[in-house]
């Protein structure tokens, strides 16, 4: 199992919870702003991702992630211990 496939369900669960949208809805429209992604949602998602996955995300890279695939890639890299530069 790849790191991406093991992290993706957790990322989707957190984004779904924060944005009050189903995973299918997030896949259908992957742009986070289309679901009400704002500074409060962003901080809530950041806190949940870091807490649940025991990672630290680079804030600039986190804010540069504008889509669900971007966020999955960012978190996957963090879990794998790689730095991701925006």
Structure confidence by residue, pLDDT tens digits, 7-56: 999 999 999 999 999 999 999 999 999 999 999 999 999 999 999 999 99
Reported as a pLDDT band with limits 50, 70 and 90, residue 85 is very low
Q: Which of these CATH numbers, 1.10.357.10, 3.30.70.260, 1.10.1200.10, 3.40.47.10, describes 3-80?
A: 1.10.1200.10
pTM: 0.87
80: Cβ contacts below 8 Å, ≥ 6 apart: 3
- Where are the domains positioned within the chain? 3-80
Backbone angles phi, psi at 30, to 5 degrees: -75, -10
Distance, in Å, from the CA atom of 66 to the CA atom of 82, rounded to the nearest integer, reads 19
Residue that is written with structure tokens 């919870």 in the block: 17
């Amino acid at each position: 199992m790849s790191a991406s496939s093991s992290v993706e369900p957790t990322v989707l669960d957190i984004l779904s919870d924060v944005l009050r949208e189903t995973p299918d809805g997030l896949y259908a429209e992957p742009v986070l702003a289309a679901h009400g992604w704002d500074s409060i949602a962003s901080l809530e998602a950041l806190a949940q991702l870091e807490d649940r996955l025991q990672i630290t995300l680079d804030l600039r890279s986190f804010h540069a992630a504008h889509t669900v695939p971007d966020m999955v890639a960012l978190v996957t890299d963090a879990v794998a211990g790689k730095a991701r530069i925006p």
